Structure 1
Amino acid sequence: MTAPLYQLKAEFFKTLGHPVRVRVLELLSEREHAVAEMLPEVGVEAASLSQQLAVLRKGNLVVTRREGSSVYYKLTHSQTGELLRVARQIISGVLEGQAELLADLRATDEG
């Protein structure tokens, strides 16, 4: 028996649920990257990056190719980049709403 779609979606979002994985996906939404290129951009140790890349591979969000001693990663689906852009828009809207609320609260405290 296959899992219900909502359960698969939950698993998908769990896979996205780590700052390093999100940053990697942001980088890969721009273009393919070698692991060595991502290290300074992500700011974690190589072992930690490797662990997070393995989670993304297991979730079928990225694919790899080897060229000599370098391993390159790219998004499996370009829509992942679009999802991250939409998430940014949602977060911006939420933060704008919170900023307005904070301004209102400060205005009532002064009044």
Structure 2
Amino acid sequence: MAVALYQAKAEFFRMLGHPVRIRVLELLQAGPTPVRDLLAELEVEPSSLSQQLAVLRRSGIVTATREGTTVVYALAGGDVAELLRTARRILTGLISDQSVLLAELRAGADRAEREDRPG
């Protein structure tokens, strides 16, 4: 039986649901990157990075090539970079909206406090 598209999307987003994986994908937007450079940028143990890279590799959104003793990772296509840019735009908008709402709530609370003061 075929997996429904919404189920496949849910699995895809679950696969992306780890901060180290997201950071790896962000770093790979700059181009193919050796594992040692990824380790230098990330504050994780090599075994943890290896596990996260394996998840990304199995999903097919990154590729790995061996150059001598060095393994180099790259994004499998530009769509992942576009997805990350879109997510950044969405999150920036949400945070901005929340900041505006918070400022409005604080201003309202300040007004209410001034009005409640005797004198």
Same fold (TM over 0.5): yes
Cα RMSD over matched residues? 0.7
How far residue 42 of structure 1 moved from its aligned partner, in angstroms, is: 1.5
Q: How high is the TM-score relative to the length of structure 1?
A: 0.97
How far residue 29 of structure 1 moved from its aligned partner, in angstroms, is: 1.3
Cα distance in 1, alignment partners of residues 32 and 74 from structure 2: 5
The one-letter code matched in structure 2 to 1:22 is: I
How far residue 30 of structure 1 moved from its aligned partner, in angstroms, is: 1.4
CA deviation string 1:52-98 (max 9, x = no partner): 00000111111111011000011112110110011001000000000
Flag structure 2 segments of 5+ consecutive residues without an equivalent: 112-119
Q: How high is the TM-score relative to the length of structure 2?
A: 0.91
Larger radius of gyration: 2
Matched, 1:3 2:3: yes
Cα distance in 2, alignment partners of residues 61 and 110 from structure 1: 49
Runs of 4+ in 1 over 4 A off after TM superposition: none
Per the alignment, residue 75 of structure 1 pairs with: 75
Superposition pairs for residues 1-111 of structure 1, below 5 Å? 1-111=1-111
- Identity rate, percent: 52
